[in-house]
Amino acid sequence: MIHSLFLINCSGDIFLEKHWKSVVSQSVCDYFFEAQEKAADVENVPPVISTPHHYLISIYRDKLFFVSVIQTEVPPLFVIEFLHRVADTFQDYFGECSEAAIKDNVVIVYELLEEMLDNGFPLATESNILKELIKPPTILRSVVNSITGSSNVGDTLPTGQLSNIPWRRAGVKYTNNEAYFDVVEEIDAIIDKSDDVSFHPCIRFKRWESERVLSFIPPDGNFRLISYRVSSQNLVAIPVYVKHCISFKENSSCGRFDITIGPKQNMGKTIEGITVTVHMPKVVLNMNLTPTQGSYTFDPVTKVLTWDVGKITPQKLPSLKGLVNLQSGAPKPEENPSLNIQFKIQQLAISGLKVNRLDMYGEKYKPFKGVKYVTKAGKFQVRT
């Protein structure tokens, strides 16, 4: 299945390679670099590339390319899903999935990769099991290790792998037993009918199908229990509105930019953490704007305008106004850029979903239970 893995940073350095079968030369990555050059843009590198002897399947995560080498037929999603699982694991272990973190922990990374695949076929991918096999680094432990020469490898043999519930390690014990539920909802700009759910493997499908009850043995630690997709034909309450006026004058080197954000149907909750991101047309050289609140930045290279708004106070609606400098002589942009909006509403699940009750069976202790609701903007785009 998966033959080899190369980790490549944005400047094209291959900084880690791992082979699960015979060694494949780094030169195979030249095909990838070729495709990358052609794509111009990192996110347009095709995830699947065919070369004379191999296939390259890659993902782009946190400014890194994970390029896997495949030799025979395999469902591409299988590989993509696995690579994301690898990146998730790094994130989980090192707090970030970055070149520096990976280089600093290269031995742990290697040990992880060794456990995650056997001969290219996934072996242990659940974080609970991996953490039993290979302990994540902590500052204390690395200090202790460097003094005592002890290791990160678990010295007790892990048993989780032998279990039929691979997501939970055996014999979990804590002094405090707590179960927290974060209900995080994201609003996409386009919302449509019917709900749809995907589950963590611990959830018992049949029980859900027959009783609409989520019954499960929880993994130890953080995990995503379900993802759901809700919608209704009658437009779901969109909590913000945007007034915008963006115009570019023909044959002149400037344009006007004016946007105002206001709350709408926010159900008495404060809308916070608002960020507006705009990809300006290429001809825009610079922007001179004045925000009534928050701060803005404009990157003249990527042409991305970011306005960090913060909270909305209905008394004084935040706005951002000013002039746009265009490249002189260039034709004016035909299209106004779309506004991408991020926001957060605490203590609100916009769909009305609630965690009704949490029952626990099979243990004597009573865990502390907590539920938190957050509504966020997902892919929230305003066309102008």
Strand partners, 255: 248, 324
170 binds another protein (CB under 8 A): no
CA distance linking residue 322 with residue 202, whole number of Å: 53
Binding mask 95-134 for another protein (x = CB under 8 A): ----xx--xxxxx-xxx--x---xx-xxx-x---------
Binding mask 133-162 for another protein (x = CB under 8 A): ---------------xx-xxx-x-xx--xx
Ranges within 262-301 binding another protein (CB under 8 A): 279, 281-282
334 binds another protein (CB under 8 A): yes
Binding mask 46-85 for another protein (x = CB under 8 A): xxx-x----x--xxxx--------xxxxxxxxx-xxx-x-
16 binds another protein (CB under 8 A): yes
Nearer to another protein, 6 or 312 (CB): 6
165 binds another protein (CB under 8 A): yes
Q: How far is CA 341 from CA 168, 272, 344, 374, in A?
A: 38, 12, 10, 16
- Sequence-distant contacts of 58-63: CB under 8 A, at least 24 apart: 58/32, 58/83, 59/83, 59/84, 59/87, 61/87, 61/97, 62/87, 62/91, 62/96, 62/97, 62/98, 63/9, 63/10, 63/98, 63/99
Q: Which of 183, 188, 190 is nearest to 352 (CA)?
A: 183
Q: How far is the CB of 268 from another protein (least distance, A)?
A: 29
182 binds another protein (CB under 8 A): no
CA distance linking residue 128 with residue 89, whole number of Å: 10
Q: Which of 200, 269, 321, 369 binds another protein (CB under 8 A)?
A: 200
Q: Which of 153, 332, 340 is nearest to 244 (CA)?
A: 340
Binding mask 217-256 for another protein (x = CB under 8 A): x------x--x-x---------------------------
